[in-house]
């Protein structure tokens, strides 16, 4: 019984620490929100949802990118990023490096 209690206590502690860590990340993003830029990048070569997932994961993993929405239908990605942390060239280069072709970039006003 004591082992079950200790395991439950440990699990609850881990969950609480995870929530606090995520909360801190959210606050950091909110502070820099004014510096963010929204762009739409056309992407050639995507043909399925696996392509969409690969582009989304690649871009989401880059530091300085806050949000990514990839559309197979429009063959594009809408990206919210902080230009103080990552350049547009690095973003388009990352798309090219995984086998797709980053094309036209349009700035979106939000």
CA 23 to centroid of chain Cα atoms: 17
Task: Quote the pLDDT of residue 7.
Answer: 52
pLDDT in tens, 81-93: 999 999 999 999 9
Tokens 């060239």 — which residue?
89
Average pLDDT, stretch 2-6? 50
Task: Quote the pLDDT of residue 91.
Answer: 98
- Whole-number Å distance between alpha carbons of 70 and 32: 23
- Residue 4 backbone phi and psi in degrees, to 5: -65, -45
Average pLDDT, stretch 59-79? 97
pTM score, whole prediction:
0.70
């Amino acid at each position: 019984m004591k082992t079950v209690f200790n395991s439950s206590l440990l699990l609850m502690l881990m969950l609480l620490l995870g929530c606090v860590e995520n909360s801190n990340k959210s606050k950091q993003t909110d502070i820099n929100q004014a510096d963010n830029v929204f762009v739409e990048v056309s992407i050639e070569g995507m043909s399925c949802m696996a392509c969409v997932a690969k582009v989304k994961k690649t871009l989401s993993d880059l530091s300085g990118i806050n949000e990514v929405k990839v559309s197979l239908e429009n063959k594009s990605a809408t990206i919210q990023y902080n230009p103080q942390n990552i350049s547009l060239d690095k973003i388009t280069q990352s798309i090219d490096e995984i086998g797709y072709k980053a094309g036209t970039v349009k700035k979106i006003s939000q």
